[in-house]
Structures are given as structure tokens and as C-alpha cells.
Structure 1
Amino acid sequence: MSHLYAMRSSALMLICVLFYLLSAGQTIHACFTTMQRGAALRRLGIAYEVALVVHLVLACAVANSAMENQGVFILWLHPVVLPVVPLLWANAVAAVMGGIRAVRLHRWSALAEVALLACCTPVAIGAMGQGSQALLAVDASYFAARVAATLAFDLHDSKTSVSRLSIVDALDALPEGVMWVSERGEVLFMNDAMRGSLTSLGLATDLADARGLWGRLESHARQAAHDRLIIETDPQTVRLFVRDAVALRNRRCRRIMALDVTEEATLNARLESVNRLLEAANEELRASMLQVKRVAEEEAVMRMRTRVHDTVGSRLSILHRYLEDGREDPQTLEKVTGLLSSIVDDLAEPSRPAASAGLASICNAFSLVGVEVRVTGELPADEAVACVFAEIVLEAVTNAAKHAQAAHVDVRLGGGGHGEASLVVTNDGGVPDAIVEGTGIPGMRQMATAVGATFSVSVGPPFAVEVTLPPRDVPGNSSERILPETQNERGHQ
């Protein structure tokens, strides 16, 4: 090593500073190596990189010792002075580890680095003599390039590869809070989001024992279930805290997660509000339907009163006039008696405008609940068919208002000279995914079949109810058509 004393002090100072910086850079690279996951021969690689740190530190000490012409390694942190030459045998250990690593990984180019480390041993330096000065410069130049390249690769890998540090950074960047607690209550990990959630609830984050944390969270919950808590951490944020058992590094522990469910909670609140409005609307619709029924009954009573007044009143007027005149001839008495005996038959006979009046009453009644029923066309001339059509219209309009929330219902009536007739009822309400028959559709189908008509329902859109009565002169139709029993026929039985 005495040949190094002949070097210029400025060169030795530059080499000393360079080796000092290289030892710092190699130390950073060694730290990155420890953070790599799944690297081949990971432990040997870490040990080798640490050995290179020792090599660079010793090279810095050699340059400093040669500059001071002392040949010793001074540790300023402790009053110890160590001879440099025996310490250089650490380079032999680094060379052995580097050789083993190069052979096992089949990296034959790394043997040049191993040879350089072997040349830095006391025996090799002594054998070189004056050439040891060049060795110091070559060692500094080589490791300057190596450390710069490895740090560049480490910086690139830190951005692209997965390491323990990158996993921790990713967990800290999560908007969801997460923490792991051991069975003894030790907090193994807590990310920033969980720390912020606990702080907003007024709970401590530097927990020495977290076994009672879940109980404290339950005291803030507005909804609690088994291992699930809904907590409003602040006026603008709602979080779902979930607890489960997991294994972390082969160690059983409890994981607590805080998931942001603010949007879901807001949506649920809106749905609850809409459901309440729908329930209120259903109640209003139910009351309106009762009102429609009462209006229809009142209209029927009024029609009956009018009919009774017209039928019975006329007969009683004739009888009163007959008694006032004091006529006693048998012919007149027989006519008056016949008029009185036919009152019941006249009341039982259906009136001609009953179906059209019923259709009009439907329009008037449903207008009370905001449903516009628009009728185009005329009812069939056959009163029995007209009554059936009116009943189907009533059921269809009721279903449209009750189930489809319709505001407009269109009723199209058609007919011809051969007795054919058609009815189409559509609405602008909601369209169901599938037709589910309760009692209304089967009832309408039964009424249509009773008069020989076909009945169909289509989802659309729009939702449509169609009734078609074929012409009477088509063979087979008249024999299959069975009219419902009228009040007049029952009155004569």
C-alpha cells in the first residue's frame, strides 16, 4: 500500500470523495435490493450488495489513509484506530460471494467484477506494486458506472415493479380505509384513509391495543349488523365498516375496512323518499278509485230514480186523472189496470242509451282522478255487445290508472254493416316486462268470449287491449256466439 503514498494529494482527495459518494449510492441500491420480491438468490444477492458497500467504504478509507500517509482506518464515532490492510481481506469475501452468484445465475460477465474485487485484496495489491495506483483509479471508475446504472434501474423498477414499498404506497393511496389488527390487539398496518376516518370520529389512531376499537365504532353506527356497520364519518361522507378474519404473513389477524358508500346511501335515501311518495300516491289512488265507484253508484241511482219517476210517475198521473174524472166505464178501467200492471216490466227492460251512458260516466269519473279517457268511434248497435265493450273499457281504464300510472287512455271503437265490431284500448303508462294475469285480464277475456269476440293483450309499447267481433254472416260465427242473458229476458222468465 506504500506505493499509494506517492500519488498526488489532489488526486487522492478526488478519489476519496468519489468513493464516499459511491458508498452512499451503493447503500441506497442495497436498500432497494432488500425491497425486491421474488428475486432469484435473494439472500445471496443482498449479502453481495452489502459486501460491495463495505468494499467502497474500505476504498474510501484507503484513499484517505494514503492521503494522510497513515495506513490506518480512523472511526471518528469511537476512539478506535484500525489498520486498513487486514480489513481489505473483506474484498476476498465479496469476491467469493460474487463468484458463487455469477456461476449460479450463469452471469459470466460478472466474473470481471469478481476479478476486480480479488485484485483489491492485500496480496494482489502487494503483487502489483506501482500498478496499485492504477487499480485504485480503475476501481473508482468501474463502480462509478455500476452504481449510476443500478440506481437508474432501481428508479425505473420502483415505478413499474411491485415491491413491499410500492404495496404500502398503493394501500396508502386507496380511498378505502384498511387496517390489520393481530389477535393480541396490535395494529399491524393502518392506511391514511382509515386513519382519517377514525380521526373524524374522534377516535385515537396511535392504538396500543385495538381490541376494543370495534365496540367504539358500534357506538357511532346508525345501522349495525354482524361485522357490518354503517357510520356517518362526517356530514358529507358515509362509510361501511366491515370486519373479517384473514391471514397476514402466515399470521391470523382481523381486517377492518372502511368503504365509502356515500353515493349508495344517498341513492337509498332517495329511493326511500320515492317509495314513501309512491305509497302516498297509492293511497290517493285507492281513495280516488273508491270515489269513482261511489260516483258511478250515485249516477246509477240517479238514472234509476229518473227512470222510476218517468215510468211510475206517468202511470200514477193517468190513474189520478182517471179518478178525478169519475169515469166508471169498464173499457177505461181495463186500460188503466193494464198500464199499472206493466210498470214492473217497463222498469226491468234495459234502456237503449245505458252502454253509451256508462261509457260517458267512465270518462267523467276518471277525469276526477286526472286520467283523460279519449273515445273515438261508436259503440256497436247490439246493446249486449255494447255493454260488454263498456265493461271491458272500464276494466282496461282501471288497470291503466292503477297499475301503469297512465295519464291518457285512448279508446278506439270500430264497426261495420255486417255486425263486426272492434275495440282497442291503449294508454301512455309504464310498460311491464311481462304480462302477469290476475283477475282483470281473465275477466275481460271471459266477457269477450261470451259475445263471440276474440281478446288479446300486447305489451307494446304502448300497452294495448284489443277485442274483435267477427261479422255475423261468416259461417260458424253466429252459432258460436252466445249473448249474455239480458234483464229483459230474465224479466220474462
Structure 2
Amino acid sequence: MSLYWRIFLLNAAVLVAAVSLLLGPVTVSTPVLFGEAVVLLGGLAAMLIANAVLLRVGLAPLDRLTRAMTSVDLLRPGGRTRVEGPGEVAELTTSFNAMLGRLEAERATSSARALSAQEAERRRIAQELHDEVGQTLTAVLLQLKHAADRTPAPLREELRQVQETTRTSLDEIRRIARRLRPGVLEELGLHSALRALTTEFTTVSLSVRHFIAPGLPELDEATELVVYRVAQEALTNAARHAGASNVEVHLSDRSAGAVRLLVRDDGAGIRLAAEGAGVQGMRERALLIGADLAIGGGPHGGTDVRLDVPTGRAGESRR
């Protein structure tokens, strides 16, 4: 029976019962006596309560479905609404779950294309920085050195300072190019890339240490890139926003061949602010490889960023 007919028949039953009472034992005088008014008001209250209860029971599945719709987050997939209620409501819930599945699949596909294009653009920019800007600055350094060697002593020191400034700019461009395109990841693998990343972020005010367990399962290239980018973003957040002084990067074998990346800092911790583009980017990358990303407070304060790569993404042990 459809929801419309269920509600209609339930209300009709209440009204028929009220009319039957009026035509039977219940009578109304003119003017209305006190006892009759009490009976009528009691009957009206009973009718309203009966309607409220029946509508609440009949529409409860729709309320649950509405709450599920308002809490949907495609970056946290897997949540589904329990199919229950009368036929139409059950069909609506089933259709909503199917639509949610299609949206999650489409989101994953579009995110994969977008991140692939982003990585390609990063490689192109890094290559241009290295080949064009880097070579130009190298040529400028050589010309400055040649000019400084032939310049009178009063101007030589100024040219030396310009040389140092140019050399510093060249080092900064090379550092940016390495962040855009992690060549060490492609050439030496994830372990060496994480070690280089911790060294790069280590400064006078920030100590970054790595702990990489031996004999970890080997991951494919796409998974290694995701793990590297998540670690890079977590370290960037710790250095720029958390005010941390110590950061640890752990890569370990969680269980049954699954790999866990843990970035733990001693900074200000998680605040109530909404997640930024960096955290959302980490979640999108985790979805691409079916990994589980969790961001929360550490055991002694600060922030823990955990990425668990499932066993299906792992192969044979790295030698």
C-alpha cells in the first residue's frame, strides 16, 4: 500500500470513529452542557494525538533519509542509509543509495583525472624551472664571476654580494622544482624520497625525524606518489600552521602487508576551523588508492596524520 493511501485510510478511520460516536452514544445539546464539552474536547485531543502518532510512525523513515542526505560527504564514502519503511519509502532509500554510489564513483574518476593533470603540470613547470630559469641563472653567475675578476677592488665586493644573491635564488628555484617534481621518488623510490623530504623540512627551529621499518611491502608508483604527497602536505602544515618544533614521519607495516604512514607533530593541534584545500587534497588522493586517511589529535597533543594503504595495494616485500 502506498504512503498516500496509508495516511488517508488512517485519518479516515479516526474520523469514522468520531462520527460513529456522535451518531451513537454521544449527543450535543444546545446550549452545550459542561459534560458534553469535556467529552468533545477529549475526543478532539484523542484524534489529534492519534494523527500525530500515526504520521510520526509513517514518516519516520523519510526523516532518517533526510538526515542522511544532509550529512553526505563524498570525501568520506561508504555511508549508506538503512532500507526500511513502506514500499515507496524503501524504493526512495534504495534509489538514494544507488545515486550516492554513482556520485562517489564519478567523484573518484574526476578526481583521478584532475590530480593526474595536476601532476603533469607540476612536472612541466619543474622542468621549465630547471631547464630555462636554472640555466639562465647559472649563466648569470658565470658572467658575474667573470666581471668580478676583472673589476677594480671598490666594486668587486658589490659584485660578490650580487653573486651570492643570485646563487641563493638559484638554490631556491631548484628547491621549488624538487617539490613540484620529486625526482628522487621516481629514481630511488619512496623510502629515499621520504628521507630526503624530512631533510628538506629540517631547519633550526623545526626538527624532522624519519622512522622507516625494514622489509615493507612494495607499492605501485601511483600509491607511492600518494603517500609522498600526503607526507609532504602534512609536513607543510606542521611547519607553516601548527607551530611545531618536532615532527616524526613513520612508515611501517601495520598488519597483513598493509602500509601505514604516520606524521606526528607537537604543534597547536586540531582546531575547530573548517578543513582547508590541503586537507581536502589529501583526502581526495587517499580515495584514489582506496586508503583510509585519519587526522586527529596526538597522544601527547599536536596532530596525527595517518594514512593506511590496504593490502590490495601492496605487492612483494622490498629488497
Higher helix share: 2
TM-score (norm 2): 0.38
TM-score (norm 1): 0.25
RCO (CA 8 Å, sep 6+): is it higher in 1 or 2? 2
